[in-house]
């Protein structure tokens, strides 16, 4: 599945996608902590211009997070504003 990221994505939206509400009382803090705990991700994010005080992730930064942590559930009205998916089917060779 290919994901297209449409513009900057609020960090709070990413936090809710990865850190389910009800499980984490403060999803943004938990998401920020998850990022900080991965040295590799933080290095890549910083190289892409990220700072922990930023309220949004650029498409490049968002892709870094998705590449490292996997694709969260993006099938909600709120996320469709920022993401679109397309499935590419490759025919199998017999």
| pTM confidence score | 0.79
What was the pLDDT predicted at 88?
Answer: 46
Q: In 3-state terms, what secondary structure has residue 1?
A: coil
pLDDT at position 90 over 50 = no
Burial class (CB in 10 A: 0-12, 13-18, 19+), 17: buried
CA distance 34 to 7: 23
Amino acid 36: pLDDT: 93
Q: What is the mean pLDDT of residues 34-57?
A: 95
pLDDT for 48 equals 97
Mean pLDDT calculated for residue range 55-73 = 88
CA dihedral defined by 64, 55, 77, 67, rounded to 10 degrees?
10
């Amino acid at each position: 599945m290919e994901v297209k990221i449409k513009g900057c994505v609020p960090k709070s939206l990413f936090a809710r996608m990865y850190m389910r509400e009800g499980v984490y009382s403060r999803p943004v803090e938990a998401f920020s902590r998850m990022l900080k705990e991965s040295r590799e991700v933080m290095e890549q994010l910083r190289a892409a211009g990220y700072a922990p005080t930023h309220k949004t992730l650029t498409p490049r930064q968002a892709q870094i997070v998705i590449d490292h942590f996997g694709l969260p559930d993006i099938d909600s009205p709120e996320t469709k504003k920022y993401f679109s998916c397309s499935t590419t089917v490759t025919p199998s060779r017999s």
